[in-house]
Amino acid sequence: MGSALDNQRLRAFSIAYVVLSLVLVATTYQLSLRAGLDRLTRSGKVVVEQSADRLIAQLESYRELTDLMARHPQISALIEGRSTSARTSEFLLRISLITGAKEVHTLDSAGRVLASSAFEDHPQVIGTDWSDRPDVIAAKTRRMGVFHSADRNGQRSYYFARSVLRDDGSPQGYVVVKVNMDELEAEWRIDETVVTFFDAAGVGFVSNRLGLALRRDETLERVPPATFNYPERVLSPLPGYTLVTTGGKTLWQFQSETEMPNRALVTSQDIPLIEMTARAFVDARPALSQARLLAALAAALLSLFGLAYAVFVQSRARLADQLRLEAEANSQLEARVAKRNTQLQQAQDNLVQASKLTALGQMSAGISHELNQPIAAIQNYAANAKKLIERGREPEASENLTLISEQTQRMARIIHNLRGFSRKETEPLERVNVASVLNASIGLAAQRAKSEGISLKVDAAPEVWVDAGQVRLQQVIVNLFSNAMDAMTDSPRKEITVSLSQRRDQVQLVVSDTGPGLSDIGRAFEPFYTTKEIGASKGLGLGLSISYGIIGSFGGLLSVENLDGGGAAFTITLPALSTQEAAQ
Ligand code: ADP
């Protein structure tokens, strides 16, 4: 019953523990992921800012170059007709080689190319009309004109245009510097984090991953791509991705074979100076794997703790089982011992009865003699009484009748004692006066003693109270008497001395004789130890062992010693009842 309840409680506890552990593990994962992604967001912002600074600085150097060239005397000399196109083109080629600009051109006030660093590769460029180019148009207003675009081969270029001013401040021509983005990006390739700058048309114009150049993100498109003269066929969409929300952030999940991280945390920032949006695609894996690691650690710890607790509970249960089994075994043992005790008690009761009958057999001769005497006397008194009545001497006859009555009383007493002795006694203990039990026992033994010439010396206190069984106590005393008488059969001096006394809380009854004493005193109380001939009316070897048990059951002790002058002395010691107890 209790263990079923325990099991139920244990199961409920286990389920609660597992649920709690799952919640804890999930919470650990979430918190760690959030913290990790926050960290990555911050580092993404830093990467974006650094990349934007770098790009701006790189473009700035070409802007300054354009500015410088617009004020260079060689350029104004050409525009004003003081130098040749060939010489200026040579000069421009040198400048482009030194500065790393892809091309440098000089235009006249109408926007036609007068000289170009590309005169060798593309001689036809001289004389072409560039007046409708957005950067040149912008330069007419004396501002720095900027433009970016890609050619049919997907070659991306950034253009700066600046007007060359006359002394009165009006434009007399233009300088155009073309920068090749591939070359600009060359040193970016080693960046760990993917960064791409998208222009107003949503086209990835600058990137540290070649594969992302000229990829379109339509969500960023504010003007049509035609604004930047992109040939249609060089543009392509971003690698396919799906958005997943985790740890409070939206991640871009790319197909694995692209250059993009599998799961990217995207940080965007508008860079107004170059009219582009910078985007960092930060790899979210470190945050994810850290969160997973921490969650696994938490799970492992919780499992370990759970396991330890389970082992503890198990061993406690096993211990309880063991104790229960031991307790069961103990109670079985106790039950067996109790049963065996009852059996022993029964056996002892039967033996007591058997030995009593043996004693009765031994005493029967004496008893019948004892009874015969009063019967003979009664017969005499009765015959005499009859004669006296016939003779009219009635007063004398009446005396005889009184004598008869006395004799019958004596017989009644003998029979009463005998009945008591042979009764099987199992009653509980009661208050018993040892003196009267002693008297009754002497009454039973007296006849035999007399017939065997044994003298009985009795020195007994009149009232000595103990807790005992009257009949059993009498049986013990009678047994001591008959053993003493047996022992003295061949003794020249035949004397039994009985003393009954109380010393404080102990009662002592000593029965001593003048026989030979015990030949093997150590075995006297051993069951079936006898030196007498075995037989119904002789020795059984049980008398003393049973007597020992009986006195023990009263809380007392039966002991024996051989007397110095020969003979044995048996002592019954019993706890005395106080006078108050005795009076109850
Ligand atoms: P049983 O009388 O049937 O032999 P008991 O147990 O009464 O059995 O006595 C055991 C033995 O102890 C006797 O056989 C006898 O040898 C010895 N014994 C008992 N009482 C006396 C005694 N008063 N004097 C000498 N020996 C005794």
- In sequence order, the β-bridge partners of residue 460 are 500
Residue 510 belongs to domain spanning: 425-584
DSSP 476-540: HHHHHHHHHHHHTTT-SS-EEEEEEEEETTEEEEEEE-SS---SSGGGTTSTT--SSPBSSSSB-
CB atoms within 10 A of CB 207: 26
Residue type, 298: A
Quick check: helix, strand or coil at residue 24?
Answer: helix
Residue 514 forms part of a structural domain: yes
* pLDDT attached to residue 538: 55
* pLDDT attached to residue 535: 43
Residue 26 forms part of a structural domain: yes
* 340 ligand 1 Cβ < 6 A: no
* 539 ligand 1 Cβ < 6 A: yes
**253, 283, 313 - which closes a domain:** 283
Residue 500 CA to ligand 1 center (angstroms) comes to: 22
Residue 351 forms part of a structural domain: no
**237, 257, 283 - which closes a domain:** 283
Report which protein residue has its CA nearest ligand 1's atom 13. 530
* 496 ligand 1 Cβ < 6 A: no
Residue 510 CA to ligand 1 center (angstroms) comes to: 16
In this prediction, residue 175 has a pLDDT band, given cuts at 50, 70 and 90, of: very high
Residue 531 CA to ligand 1 center (angstroms) comes to: 7
* pLDDT attached to residue 168: 86
Work out the burial of residue 332: count CB atoms within 10 Å of its CB; fewer than 13 is exposed, 13-18 middle, 19 or more buried: exposed
* 483 ligand 1 Cβ < 6 A: yes
CB atoms within 10 A of CB 285: 14
pLDDT one-digit tens code per residue, 270-304: 999 999 999 999 999 999 999 999 999 999 999 99
User: Largest alpha-carbon pair distance within the chain?
Assistant: 212
Residue 484 forms part of a structural domain: yes
* pLDDT attached to residue 504: 87
CB-side neighbour CA atoms (13 Å) of 546: 27
Residue 105 forms part of a structural domain: yes
* pLDDT attached to residue 537: 44
In this prediction, residue 210 has a pLDDT band, given cuts at 50, 70 and 90, of: confident
* 316 ligand 1 Cβ < 6 A: no
pLDDT one-digit tens code per residue, 520-564: 999 898 877 888 875 434 566 778 888 888 898 899 999 999 999
Residue 394 forms part of a structural domain: no
**257, 283, 309 - which closes a domain:** 283
pLDDT one-digit tens code per residue, 73-110: 999 999 999 999 999 999 999 999 999 999 999 999 99
* 134 ligand 1 Cβ < 6 A: no
238, 241, 243, 246 alpha-carbon torsion, rounded to 10° = -120
Measured CA to CA, the distance from residue 578 to residue 307 in angstroms comes to 68
Task: Please report, for the domain that includes residue 531, its CATH number.
Answer: 3.30.565.10
Task: Please report, for the domain that includes residue 197, its CATH number.
Answer: 3.30.450.20
Measured CA to CA, the distance from residue 3 to residue 406 in angstroms comes to 78
Count of domains for the chain? 2
Residue 376 forms part of a structural domain: no
Listed range (18-22, 215-219, 252-256, 448-452) with the worst mean pLDDT: 252-256
Residue 126 CA to ligand 1 center (angstroms) comes to: 157
* pLDDT attached to residue 191: 85
Measured CA to CA, the distance from residue 91 to residue 89 in angstroms comes to 5
Report which protein residue has its CA nearest ligand 1's atom 16. 531
Residue 487 CA to ligand 1 center (angstroms) comes to: 8
* 513 ligand 1 Cβ < 6 A: yes
Residue 521 CA to ligand 1 center (angstroms) comes to: 10
Listed range (128-132, 314-318, 349-353, 504-508) with the worst mean pLDDT: 349-353
* pLDDT attached to residue 373: 77
Residue 126 forms part of a structural domain: yes
pLDDT score of 476 more than 70:
yes
* 485 ligand 1 Cβ < 6 A: no
Measured CA to CA, the distance from residue 470 to residue 417 in angstroms comes to 11
Measured CA to CA, the distance from residue 292 to residue 332 in angstroms comes to 58
Per-chain mean pLDDT for the chain = 89
Measured CA to CA, the distance from residue 366 to residue 373 in angstroms comes to 11
Share of the chain above pLDDT 70, in %: 91
Q: List, in sequence order, every beta strand (DSSP E) within 134-248.
A: 145-150, 156-165, 171-180, 194-198, 204-207, 215-216, 236-237, 241-246
